[in-house]
Amino acid sequence: MAGQRELTDDERHLAELGYKQELDRSWSGFSNFAISFSIISILAGCFTTFGQGFNNGGPIAISWGWPIVAALILVIGLTMSELVSAYPTSGGIYWWASKMGGPRAGFFTGWLNLIGLIAVTASVAYGCATFFDLTLSTLSQGWSDGYSLTRVFWIFLLFLALAVLLNVYSGHLMAVMNNVSVWWHVVGAAVIVVLLVVVPDHHQSVSYVFTERFNNSGYADGSTSSPTYWLLIVPFGLLLTQYTITGFDASAHLSEETSAASKAAAQGIWRSIFYSAIGGWILLLCFLFAVPNGADGRPDNAGVGGGGVAYLFTNAMSSGWAGVILLISTVGQFFCMTSCMTSASRMTFAFSRDGAVPGSRLWSSLSKNKVPANAVLLVAVVSALITVPALVEVDVNGVVVPVAFYAVVSVAVIGLYLAFLIPIWLRWRMGDAFTPGSWTLGRRYRWMNIVAVVEIAVISVYFILPFVPGGVPFSADFDWKFVNYAPILTLGSLLVLGVWWQVSARHWFTGPKVTIDKAVVDAFGE
């Protein structure tokens, strides 16, 4: 092999897994952590889904629920850190499943992960557009006459186009943006905390924040002591945390572009969860302490439950300060959106590289900047198409709500976490036959993998249940506008994948393909 450049440790490890270095490995360990931290984005999830926790259980579902569920998600992240250390490839979760469970496991994991990543990209982009519109409405009375689904959708398309341009320009630019995003989230969250502590004239008591409970879900006649409250309503509220802390698999998808990936990507996953959990909890506690009182001098639980964080801010302080907080959140959501597109495009590239996506040759090609530009465009187009149902107006108690779109959000989280479950279970099943990388759980994998699998299975069930009584089939109040479409979409996707696998894919899909010359691989033994 005289005259050939000596491979780096990262390139050698990647080659041993069967791939040549095609992507630009310019990401630092901090950048790898930054993309997962940006996608989790406490400035996005804590704002957009605050009402989920507040209405379903009250403050206790947030003050106590957030740290409990975050700890369980951290266990999931730690099990995935061990896997990415052993297999640092862009395919990430799909590659792990193929390696440990064969082509069928890889095929279903890959599609669940890809569906989840694209849906998350769509949901974050739509949320960003909504908050941009809300910010302008708060800061400028002349911006609009009211909420418009059509206007928000056009803003959504514009933001998707901007994310495409940024992603296509260069992979290194995205690494820089994610570095900036971390500090925006840290400093921005700190500014919001200070404003919520200093500006409001009144704050709720510690007792309110940590013991107050109520039930605005419509179930159990508002009961806060029945089995339904504890076994159904409060778990619905805990989904706030599950909604927010997801997408941390991005560290795995960007591992082929990260230096010292076996260690850096593993740390990127668990650290992004850990620091987001702490920051998000502090932020949410400040939200609860800032809940304004109503005209009767009692906490305005109904007003905040119906109006969300915007109502909370505008009634706890002036519209100017409220607009500043919403602007900080909107910018954070924009960073989150661009990071989501990066992660989804890398998964599309990797899955296409192995022939699993129709038109694979097109989506696995790289631009002169070593960026999967076609994959980026595909993610953007599909994100726009699956969000079209959000244009359908549904009036719920006088408020226009894109109900069908919320089902896409649920499918995104179910898809991602079910994709996580498969390789975590397979790793547990392998036991000591698994060859760990430089970052390992040791013997702790035995109980941590089981805890992770059980947690994912439980939340997946709750995500497909009707969130309001009107969505319960065959009930007296049933109406299609209240239906949680997640089970229909999720089971439908699995059915299509199952038929596709049985009829066609099992005959040609063999899992990850080797892209590196055999002579190079053989040279490792010399």
Mean pLDDT of 138-151: 78
In which domain, by residue range, is 347 found?
A: 26-454
Distance CA 153, CA 388 (A): 8
* Ranges 123-127, 142-146, 515-519, most confident: 123-127
Task: Decide if 275 is inside a domain.
Answer: yes
Q: How far apart are CA 419 and CA 121, in angstroms?
A: 16
Please report how the helices 9-16 and 261-289 are oriented relative to each other, as an axis angle in degrees rounded to 10: 100
Over 60: is that where the pLDDT of 497 sits? yes
Domain annotation covers residue 66: yes
Q: What is the pLDDT of residue 159?
A: 97
Residue 507 lies inside a defined structural domain of this protein: no
**Predicted local distance difference test score (pLDDT) of residue 89:** 81
Provide CB contacts within 8 A for 131, sequence distance 6+. 47, 48, 326, 329, 330, 333
Domain-embedded: residue 324? yes
Break the chain down into helix, strand, coil percent, rounded to 5: 70, 5, 25
DSSP run (H or E) holding 325 = helix 319-353
Could you read off the pLDDT of 106-125 as tens digits, one per residue? Answer: 999 999 999 998 989 998 99
In a domain, 402, yes or no: yes
Residue range 149-157: average pLDDT? 92
CATH number of the domain bearing residue 188: 1.20.1740.10
d(CA 341, CA 496): 25
Assess if residue 98 is contained within a domain.
yes
- Averaged pLDDT of the chain: 88
* DSSP letters spanning 97-153: HHHHH-HHHHHHHHHHHHHHHHHHHHHHHHHHHHHHHHHHHHH-TTS-SS--HHHHH
Q: Is residue 476 part of a domain?
A: no
pLDDT of amino acid 395: 59
**Residue 475 counted as domain residue:** no
> Looking at the predicted structure, is the pLDDT value of residue 399 above 70?
no
The alpha carbon of residue 306 and the mean position of all alpha carbons in its chain are separated, in whole angstroms, by 24
Predicted pLDDT at 234: 94
pLDDT for residue 431: 95
For the chain, the domain total comes to 1
Q: Residue 289's pLDDT is what?
A: 98
- Render pLDDT for 446-474 as a digit per residue (tens, 0 to 9): 999 999 999 999 999 998 888 888 888 88
Task: Find the mean pLDDT for residues 340-361.
Answer: 90
Instruction: Please report, to the nearest 10 degrees, the dihedral formed by the alpha carbons of residues 473, 302, 407, 461 taken in order.
Output: -70
Cα–Cα dist 479/462, whole Å: 20
Residue 245 vs residue 397, higher pLDDT: 245
pLDDT higher than threshold 60 for residue 2 = no
pLDDT confidence of residue 403? 60
Q: What is the pLDDT of residue 526?
A: 45
